[in-house]
Structure 1
Amino acid sequence: MSDLIELIYEAAFVPERWTHVLQKASKLSASASAQVFFFSETAPPRGMTLDNLRPLFDKFINGDMWKFSEGTQKMCAMQPASFVTVDDFLSAEELEHDPARVMLREVGIGAMACSAVAMPTGELATFVFQKWLKDGAFMPNEIEQLNLLRPHLARASLVSGRLRVERAEATTSALELMGLPAAVLSASGRMMAANSHLQRMDAALLPVAHGGLAIADRDANRLFQSAITQMRHETTAGSIPVPGIGDNSAFVVHLLPLRRAAHDIFGGADTLVLATPITPSALVPSATLLNALFDLTPTEARLATDLASGLTLVDSAARRGVTVKSARTYLERIFRKTGTRQQSQLVAMLKTVQPLVPPTPD
């Protein structure tokens, strides 16, 4: 699993590696094939696939079939924050007549698993895995294996989406191509390069002694420095919420390890720091954004949005059909993931992105 996670982060910068990621993840989940799609409001979909479905992939993505596929439209609307079996959300008639499913059945493809990553930039990355008809449905343990990969796929797809799946050959061009505030750090935490977008955030992201980088908010910086230290010893990643500072509105700092070819592309740097402004869009209007920002599980995200909308912990537990003890356990996990320490602090942080976290229906 650790080798696959390293490969995922390499694929963020070296698009041809996505094929290897999909191959290994397919083997892990006993899938026949796999794809990653990038959807946006302003451009046609794009993505990558394994070669065994490339002709169908090209037909699907280059024509209008994706617009008329009930499965595609439902998954984009639902934005499942964990991998789900697509068939569970389609009627028998939809399964029978969906043009994409008809095309896939003709080559022996049956069950499909899907998860969507709603990115703060307004884009949607969708990961799809398929089974051969003869192999039946996805087993719970296979879905679980995919869900273990999902947080890493989320961060890697954010970078791939910003780079428009084009390889950047030099550190400075790679950072500028992202269109987001970004810097690369050495293993010791020294800032080796930063783009102009990050340099303009000098009220929130500060240069410090020995060439390091810090966040102007105390709690966020505590998490940030701890994450940098941890990345020296293991292949990990993290997402840190930062409240509005000065003229900068609230944003999230992502730390991604640079391994393999990505390490070479960025001149031997070890960590990419990416500051993601929170940008509302019609494509990403719901609380599913919390999953992409902070790796919250669906249950944790629902609790967080309840609290942000004014419900008490007890009321949220009753609404969601869980015990208060379980809700407190979820809340402790949310504190760890969002860098907050108490409920009032969490709610204040969530309210900085209030348009994106409306109350969710029962």
Structure 2
Amino acid sequence: MSNTIVDQIYEAAFVPEQWSHALQSVAAETGCASGVIATWDAEQLPQGFRATPLVRPAVESTMRSPQGQDSRRFTALHGVINDGFTSIDSLLSREAFDTDPIQVGLRALGLESQAATAIPMPSGELVCISFERRLADGPFDERAISGLNELRPHLARAGLMAARLGLERAQTTVSGLRAIGLPAVVLTLSGRVLATNDLFDALPSTFLPSSHGGLAINDVDANRLFQASVSATRSLNEPLVRSIPIVARDGRDALVVHVLPLRRAAHEIFSGGDLLVVATTVRPNASTPSPSILMGLFDLTPSEVKLAVALASGNTVQQAAADASIRLTTARTYLDRIFRKTGTHQQSQLVALLKSTHAIDSR
């Protein structure tokens, strides 16, 4: 996927009036005519939305209408929340799909198929993103869904910022860091610290100063992934992961560190900074991890998430492969990717990390 599109997504995280352009670019790349992002706060009250021009009036009407809010597609979408982008028409019966109030509104605009994803945020908010196709362009095929899922980790991180900022523009470095309400630090491309907020300063046992005014994570595996992410951004490459887990130890909660590039107008808002590093706190819990949390935290694909959940539930790789009807070699390939994305090296270490990702706290 084009780096320009990724840059537009991260710019929109802090300059929400740019969401329309970012969504239109994604739509054009995936054979769609329109796109929407909508956010709900931690109490599940609507915060707002941004949309491309074609559907903006219809979305505004839907967000204000009780009938629109009661659309069965929202309930259906929550049922597959861990599957990434999903074609809505595959979730509803033909009658339910044809009579759905949102579908009626889309058809009035010449639109037919819609692919959407619901992304629970670590701090309790919910972000929903959808893209729509014209009737003449046919339903979403596997290639289009794959293209959208390729961008989902970027959309999730940008969505986290959009939800924390309430889809409002970050005005300055100081006000932006305060409004995010999570531990955050702004870095230059060289890794030098430009600005921090009070929540970040309260984590001295996690983040350490390094040479030349830089930053390091007090965890060998996490720091390796973190430095690789910073280095890749410096060379204008896309790193393997931008969401980095830090295991709990010595009374410290597990954390996930998100590395967001500050592109275009966002670069100016944050005093010419190039990277925003945000930490979300993970409360330990012995329960099986939420698939939606795993997708948002570790950039795992839907297939990798299913394997990770199976392993955390106590299954062997062989059992997980059989249950998913995939070859053992395929499962081992997924496992290797999961190791690299989570910074773990063996299955027991991975399971211990996954079991700490059940509930998220934004303290």
**TM-score calculated relative to the size of structure 2:** 0.92
Partner in structure 2 of residue 317 of structure 1: 321
2:125 to 117, 123, 126: 123
Q: Report deviation, 1:235.
A: 4.9
Per-residue deviation, residues 144-164 of structure 1 (Å, max 9, x unmatched): 322222221111111111111
Identity over aligned pairs, percent = 44
Q: Could you say which residue in structure 2 is the equivalent of 1:101?
A: 103
The residue number in structure 2 matching 1:360 is: none
What letter matches 1:293 in structure 2? L
Q: Name 1:200's counterpart in structure 2.
A: 202
Alignment of 1:107-146 (within 5 A): 107-146=109-148
Match in the other structure for 2:281? 277
1:21 to 1:279, Cα distance in 2 relative to 1, 3 A: farther
Question: Would you say the 8 A contact 2:247–2:255 is kept in 1?
Answer: yes
Q: Deviations over 1:96-131 (max 9, x none)?
A: 221211222233221111122222122221111111
How far the C-alpha of 1:349 sits from its partner, in A, is 1.0
After TM superposition, list the pairs within 5 Å mapping 1:1-362 onto structure 2: 1-42=2-43, 43-236=45-238, 238-278=242-282, 286-354=290-358
Gaps of 5+ in 1: 357-362
SS of equivalent to 1:78: coil
On the 8 A contact 1:308/1:351 being kept in 2, the answer is yes
Q: Are the counterparts in 1 of residues 282 and 359 from structure 2 also a CA contact under 8 Å?
A: no
| Distance across 2 between alignment mates of 1:45 and 1:222 | 37
- The CA deviation string for residues 207-266 of structure 1, in whole angstroms up to 9 with x for no partner, is 233222111112111211222122110153511101124443111001111121111111
CA distance in 2, matches of 1:155, 1:204: 21
- Rate the CA distance shift 1:209–1:19 in 2: closer, same or farther, 3 A: same
In the alignment, is the contact (CA less than 8 A) between 1:182 and 1:273 conserved in 2?
yes
Question: What is the Cα-based RMSD across aligned positions, in Å?
Answer: 1.9
CA distance in 2, matches of 1:45, 1:169: 19
Runs of 4+ in 1 over 6 A off after TM superposition: none
Query: Does the 8 A contact of 1:223 with 1:339 survive in 2?
Result: yes
Distance in 2, Cα, partners of 1:151 & 1:21: 15
Once residues 143 and 319 of structure 2 are traced to their aligned partners in structure 1, the CA distance between those partners, rounded to angstroms, is: 33
Q: Structure 1 residues 200 and 247 mapped into 2: Cα distance closer, same or farther (>3 Å)?
A: farther
Shift of 1:354: 4.4
- Give the C-alpha shift of residue 41 in structure 1: 4.6
Residue 12 of structure 1 aligns to a residue in which SS? helix
Cα deviation, residue 26, structure 1: 1.4
Q: Residue 272 of structure 1: CA displacement? A: 0.7
Whichever residue aligns with residue 268 of structure 1, its letter is G
Counterpart CA distance in 2 for 1:299 and 1:143 is: 14
Contact 2:259 / 2:276 at 8 angstroms: preserved in 1? yes
| Number of equivalenced pairs | 352
CA distance in 2, matches of 1:353, 1:72: 25
In the alignment, is the contact (CA less than 8 A) between 2:42 and 2:123 conserved in 1?
no
1:53 shift after superposition: 1.7
Unmatched runs of 5 consecutive residues or more in structure 2? none
Asked if the contact 2:317/2:328 (under 8 Å) is kept, the reply is yes
Contact 1:108–1:132, Cα closer than 8 Å, also in 2:
yes
